[in-house]
Amino acid sequence: MSLSPSLKTPFTDFTGAVVSHQWGSRCRDMELKALDCLEAYGLTRGVTKCEDLITDFQECSLRVKEVSRYVAMRSERERQYHAGERTKENRYAPPPKPDSY
């Protein structure tokens, strides 16, 4: 994966950390661990050695796998309904209480 800008100038150094997850996001710790690892090993070795930390941070931040899960579940439910395996009453689950999330 490409984790550094293609052209490194002082401007990319200044603006690299302007906005980050350290501002109270839920991915704060994962970002810190991944970047500490990268800083310890450098970029070239770090991309291979810290791969787990980096991919976990990316998953936390972008939630690609989580969203794919939901898409898969949703499309499976619709497929089951249109194939007749689910009745109209059974199509969806009862909704949760509105103030519980």
Partner 1 sequence: MATSASAKKQDMPPEGGYKPISYKRIPAKTYFSGWALIGGYLGMTAAAGFLYYLNCKRLHRNEIEMRSGRFAIFPLLLAERDREYLKQLRRNRDEEAELMKNVEGWEVGTYYGEPLYKTVDKDKLIDPMMQGYYVHTPWKEFNRRAFIRQWS
Binding stretches for partner 1 (CB under 8 A): 26, 30, 33, 52-53, 55-56, 59-60, 63, 65-70, 72-74, 76-77, 80, 92-101
| Minimum separation from the CB atom of position 7 to partner 1 (A) | 32
- Cβ-based nearer residue to partner 1, 4 or 75: 75
- Cβ-based nearer residue to partner 1, 16 or 40: 40
DSSP-assigned letter for residue 3? -
Specify burial of residue 34 (Cβ count, 10 A radius: 0-12, 13-18, 19+): buried
| Minimum separation from the CB atom of position 75 to partner 1 (A) | 10
- Cβ-based nearer residue to partner 1, 10 or 95: 95
| Minimum separation from the CB atom of position 19 to partner 1 (A) | 21
Q: Which of 17, 52, 22 is nearest to 37 (CA)?
A: 52
